[in-house]
A and B are shown apart, each in its own frame.
Chain A
């Protein structure tokens, strides 16, 4: 399966009469966008605001971040099975509005929405401070429960991204990158001397607002399965969850999964990248056992020499991470695990809820408990009402002068476990 990604570099965003990309600027007809999204009985109102890198702007509570993409050639569409037919995606050509994103935000769903600061110290911790953000502030209809609200907000974000992505359909991309993964036997034969590497992609599925969707299927209900890496780039996997902001994979993270791109970079040089094994993080022991048995089985079945395993969330999923690692290693397949840490505010506690000596190769995305002070911003998109309550905040987090003291856990994407960032932790 071969996919061309055409990157259209977006260097500014503005409201305009017509939604289009011109000279690197994305113009957005605000009322048309709102009209497109408001056609949902679960949503009372939506306001659209723009946030640019370097501004004194704080966006909160952030639910999801989505990159506008459009399928210009090949079968399927973006977010197959959710916003269109379930046609298998991942081949042909996809255009990406690179440098911008849709951010959904609004009254809190659970405890676990985050903060994006467009400048200041907080901006260093979130990749989304570097993007031109089209922020949807969503007000749910009266009486809507939080499951309905989560879904309405999720769908609004996806629809906005797809609608904006259309603006890139007929634009000549600045860069074209192609990715290809062949059928298992062909792929193995292509680089017979290089180690065969897979990617075990753990999806957050603890349930009750901790859900991830694969081609529209709630991933709680899958058994581990195989995907071509390029399917992920077309939105085969998307976020519907509200785990802590720092280490949940937003839809943007899935669309731009850095493990996949880093493996492709080394593909044909140092490794032979064979494909993606998706698995879940269910809360029942039998599910954990079954899923980790299956990842190990599939890794062996594919004849892999090594895998990278990425986690999403923390605590309970630490057990899934360690089970995957242990069982795959026992099949003779080498592992590196990607995780983050909860070592306490002083960094002195143990970082994971589970461990095993076989997990001897760990890449960490940092200690989510570390404290940070975020200075007051001139403008707030969304609302500060929930600052003390969101995971990583505490009583008094929002100070009278408008600054915030909280754990970096509150920052969207700060300790992302796909290895999206440079942040890490080390032993002092």
Chain B
């Protein structure tokens, strides 16, 4: 079998070019191994080979993000690597950010596995932990001796598409990704054991550390509703009959935007719900119960509101992840704003 082809990324300092005074060094490709690559080579043995090393100054990269990224990506692509590695960046913040940025770009653009390594307080860890594996290191280059074996081991596993173990086993920073596992004991037993420990004041490990929720500050009240352009947005799953976008009954992977211009009200002939988390009978009989087009048309007519926006946005809130919900809202909130909408009623179920 041919060796796994590795391309390695270093900043100007670790490539031995110079310190801060050389931080404007432009992207450069060197065939073969440079600096810390030696330690990795030892660990790779016959299985993998660093075919080339790309070097870029930290200032140059961060100040010329677009140009430098494009240049580096081109260099990497031409080397046809099986895996791309960057760092270790230890506690060097700008270097960490560069390693993370390039790794993420390579992963997305070239579809090959990527890997970096940093100290836990390096800002690059929090910026990129969700996107890539970042091996834990000490805060300075003295930690290379322990970083290299962990990096090489995980790199080989990634290149060979082997199953990656949990963070503590592989030595990478927790990525914040929930993965299912079968434990040795039943949940009920684990609960009793955890409670006994908690009561005794012994140490116990919760299986799900509570997330910090982001709280949204409500906007100030609309001063004059008679001039407001109102839009309806729902997580109650109201869609045109037949669910043309096939929004899922649970864990929705999309939302829909639907035209209600000229409609005096929704009817059971034209609309229905796609939601699988509640009994759909009453919503299907009269979809205005979830998306109150009828009441708002009355208010529009009587002048209590300025107008009702021609489109409504709808998804299914049943088991749909918060990350997806946020992404949908980010998209259509801009559209609503551009369409001159001044107030939104969000209906849920």
Q: Give A contacts to B, CB under 8 Å.
A: 110-112, 124, 145-146, 195, 197, 206-210, 243-244, 258-259, 261-263, 265-266, 270-271, 305-308, 314-315, 334-336, 338-339, 341-352, 355-357, 359-370, 389-395, 407-409, 416-428
Contacts and interface: CB of A to CB of B under 8 A. Distances in A.
Interface residues of B, number: 58
A344 B176 CA distance: 12
Given A389-B276, A426-B179, 4 more contacts: A208-B278, A262-B189, A338-B188, A394-B248
Contacts of A197: 195
Interface in B136-168: 164, 166-167
Contact of B277 (A195, A315, A356): A315
B199 to A, nearest CB: 5
Interface of B: 130, 164, 166-167, 174-192, 194-196, 198-199, 204, 206-213, 246, 248-251, 253, 276-282, 317-324
B189 A425 contact: no
A392 B181 CA distance: 19
Pairs A-B, 9 closest by C-beta atoms: A419-B187, A111-B276, A419-B188, A208-B279, A344-B321, A349-B321, A258-B188, A391-B250, A347-B178
A265 B182 CA distance: 22
Nearest to A242: B279
A365 B209 CA distance: 14
B168 to A, nearest CB: 10
A265 B191 CA distance: 13
Grouping DSSP codes into helix (H, G, I), strand (E, B) and loop, the B interface class, with mixed when no group exceeds half, is loop
A134 B3 CA distance: 56
Contact of A409 (B166, B181, B196, B251): B251
Given A348-B130, A395-B246, A409-B319, A262 B192 contact: yes
Contacts of B198: 306, 334, 336, 361
A417 B208 CA distance: 14
Identify whether the interface residues of A are mostly helix, strand, loop, or mixed. Answer: loop
Contacts of B174: 427-428
17 contacts: A110-B276, A111-B276, A244-B250, A244-B277, A259-B191, A262-B192, A265-B189, A270-B196, A306-B198, A338-B187, A349-B323, A355-B212, A361-B206, A419-B189, A422-B183, A424-B182, A426-B179
A243 B211 CA distance: 25
Contacts of A394: 246, 248, 251, 253
B276 A369 contact: no
Name, among A271, A338, A362, A363, the residue most crowded by chain B CB atoms within 10 Å (CB to CB): A363
Contacts of B279: 110, 146, 207-210
Contacts of A391: 249-251, 276-277, 318-319
Contact of B319 (A210, A366, A369): A369
A302 to B, nearest CB: 15
B199 A334 contact: yes
